[in-house]
Amino acid sequence: MRATFVLVPGAGGQAWYWHRLVPELERRGCAAVPVELPAADDAAGLPRYTQVVLDALGDTPTRPLVVVAQSMGGLTAPLVCTRVPVDLLVLLNAMVPRPGESGGEWWAATGQAEARAQAARDDGRPYDPDDLDAAFTHDVPAEVLAGGPAPADQSGTPFADPWPLDRWPDVPTRVLAGRDDRFFPVAFQRRVAAERLGLPVDEVPGGHLVALSRPAELAGRLVAYLDEL
């Protein structure tokens, strides 16, 4: 195996989100570990989410170890990096928290709602903040959605937890954005990554749920990162 990719989902916590990416990574000679998080459990906060990821990894994952965090997974993945040796952290359309900031506070602190509305205006698209299908699944093939489980509930508990680290973990980090993301527009992701991490943003085709819409392109970019280690 060339590497192990542990795949941390966003809100709803479903490992199914990664089901099209896993075989693409395996075809490229890598191990892939999609994580199912206890999203509906109001007793589970960020410490529990972190432990679930660690349990999914087991004791001896093949190195290099790459943690990929989708969307809300950006709250959990850096915490994993403080518990096991991680060679690369990839933030995929992900939240980037600051020390002490809760996930609930992140939205207003980053101006996400305004950025989402501005992107729609710039693109000439109608905008309804409550139309989550337009935000999340506009580029996901209908047959993929039809074959999947019902969307899972997401407890607010992890969003209430202040982010516990006092600084970003000392792990190489890449920020990767779907260039067609309507929920976290690319310009927004560039600004947040620059302000909070001092990092540029790489792009792949696809929207917010790029692992469902463009898994081959995503796998190619993730595996290409291994050459930079």
Report the range of poorest mean pLDDT among 29-33, 57-61, 146-150.
57-61
Encode burial over 191-212: b for 16+ CB neighbours within 10 A, e otherwise: ebbeebeebebebbebbbbbbb
For position 60, what pLDDT does the model report? 75
pLDDT averaged over every residue in the chain? 96
Domains and CATH numbers, the chain: 4-228 (3.40.50.1820)
- pLDDT, tens digit, 9 for 90 and up, residues 215-227: 999 999 999 999 9
- pLDDT, tens digit, 9 for 90 and up, residues 73-120: 999 999 999 999 999 999 999 999 999 999 999 999 999 999 999 999
